[in-house]
Structure 1
Amino acid sequence: MKNRLTNLTDHLFAQLERLAEENLTPEQIETEAKRAEAIVSLADRVTDNARTQLAAAKLFAEHGQQILPMLPQIGKASE
C-alpha cells in the first residue's frame, strides 16, 4: 500500500465499486458496509491530518521562521 492521498482516493473508489456490486448477498452487503465504515473513518483521520499540515505550511509561508516557536514541536518529548 502506498501512503499518498491519491492512493486513499483509489481505495475509497474501490470500496464504492464493491458496495455497488449488484449480485451481493445481504451478508456480503453488511460486511462491505462495515468495511466501508472503517475505511471512511480512517480516511477522515488522514484528511484531517493533511488539512492540519496544510494549515501549518500556510502559516509558515505567510510568516516565515518567526511562526515556528508558536507551532508544536513534532517529534520532541513534551516538557
Structure 2
Amino acid sequence: MQNRLSDLNNHLFMQLERLGDEELTGEKLAEEINRARAVTDVAQQIIANGTLVLKAKIAVDSVGKANPIPPMLLE
C-alpha cells in the first residue's frame, strides 16, 4: 500500500462532507461523529509521524559525516 499525505487530505475532506450531510440525524449522525473522531485521531498520528520524519531528515542533513547518526534514524 502506498498512501500519501494527499490521500489523508482527501479522506479528511470526505469525512467533512459526510458530517455536512443534513439528512444525517439521530443515531446515524452520532455514529458519523464517532467515526470522524477516530479518523481525526489517526490523522493526527500520521501527521505527527510525518513531522518526525521531516525533523530527522533535517537533523541528518545538518550533522554531516563527522558525527555518527543513530541507526534508528537511517531507515
Same fold (TM over 0.5): yes
Aligned to 2:63: 63
Q: CA separation in 1, counterparts of 2:61 and 2:28?
A: 48
Aligned to 2:6: 6
TM-score, normalised to structure 2's length? 0.85
C-alpha RMSD of the superposition: 1.7
Q: 1:16 to 1:57 in 2, by over 3 A?
A: same
- Runs of 4+ in structure 1 off by over 6 angstroms are none
Question: Could you list the runs of 5+ residues in structure 2 that have no partner in the other structure?
Answer: none
Q: How far 1:55 moved relative to its partner?
A: 0.3
AA at the equivalent of 1:33: I
Aligned to 1:47: 47
Q: Is the 8 A contact 1:15 1:36 kept in 2?
A: yes
Percent same amino acid at aligned positions?
Answer: 38
- Counterpart check, 1:21 vs 2:21: yes
TM-score, normalised to structure 1's length? 0.81
